[in-house]
Structure 1
Amino acid sequence: MKTMKNIFPRAALLFLAFTVLCGILYTGAVTGLAQLLFPHQANGSIIEVNGVKYGSALLGQQYTDDAHMWGRIMQLDVMTYRDENGEALLYAAPSNISPASEEYQALVAERTAKLRASNPQMADTPIPVDLVTSSGSGLDPHISPAAATYQIPRIAAATGRTEAEVAEIVSACSTGKFLGIFGEETVNVLRVNLMLDGILQPA
Structure 2
Amino acid sequence: MLRELRPALSLVVLFTLVLGLIFPVAVTGLAQLALPFQANGSLILVGGKPVGSALIGQTFTSPTLFQSRPSALTGTDAKGATVPTPYDASESGASNLASTSKAMIDDVGTRVAAYRRAFGPGPVPADAVESSGSGLDPDISLVNALRQAPAVAAARHLPAASVIALVNQMATRPWLGFVGTAHVNVLELNVALGSKQG
Instruction: Classify the TM-score, shorter chain.
Output: 0.7 to 0.9
Matches within 5 A, 1:18-97: 18-77=15-74, 80=77, 90=88, 91-97=90-96
Counterpart selection for 2:157 from 155, 160, 166: 160
Distance 1:22 1:167, change over 3 A: same
Identity of aligned residues (%): 38
Deviation at 1:108, TM superposition (A): 0.7
Q: Is the 8 A contact 2:94 2:132 kept in 1?
A: no
Which residue of structure 1 lines up, in the alignment, with residue 81 of structure 2? none
- Which residue pairs with 1:109 in the alignment? 109
Task: Name the counterpart of 1:84.
Answer: none
Shift of 1:159: 1.4
Structure 1 residue 24: deviation in Å?
3.1
Q: How many pairs does the alignment contain?
A: 186
TM-score in terms of structure 1 length: 0.77
TM-score for the superposition, normalised by structure 2: 0.78
1:179–1:32 CA distance, 2 compared to 1 (3 A): farther
Alpha-carbon distance in structure 2 between the residues aligned to 1:23 and 1:80 = 39
> How far, CA to CA, are the matches of 2:27 and 2:177 in structure 1?
28
**Distance between the aligned counterparts of 2:9 and 2:104, measured in 1?**
54
- Structure 1 unaligned regions, length at least 5: 1-5, 82-87
1:10-60 CA-partner distances (Å, limit 9, x unpaired): 776666555544443332222111111111111011111322221111111
* Cα RMSD (Å): 3.0
Unpaired runs of 5+ in structure 2? 79-84
User: Amino acid of the residue matched to residue 173 of structure 1?
Assistant: M
* Contact 1:77/1:92 (<8 A) preserved: no
Q: Tell me the residue number matched to 2:174.
A: 177
Shift in Å, 1:163: 1.5
In structure 2, C-alpha distance between the alignment counterparts of 1:67 and 1:16, rounded to whole Å: 58
Amino acid in structure 2 at the alignment position of 1:147:
N
- SS of residue matched to 2:69: coil
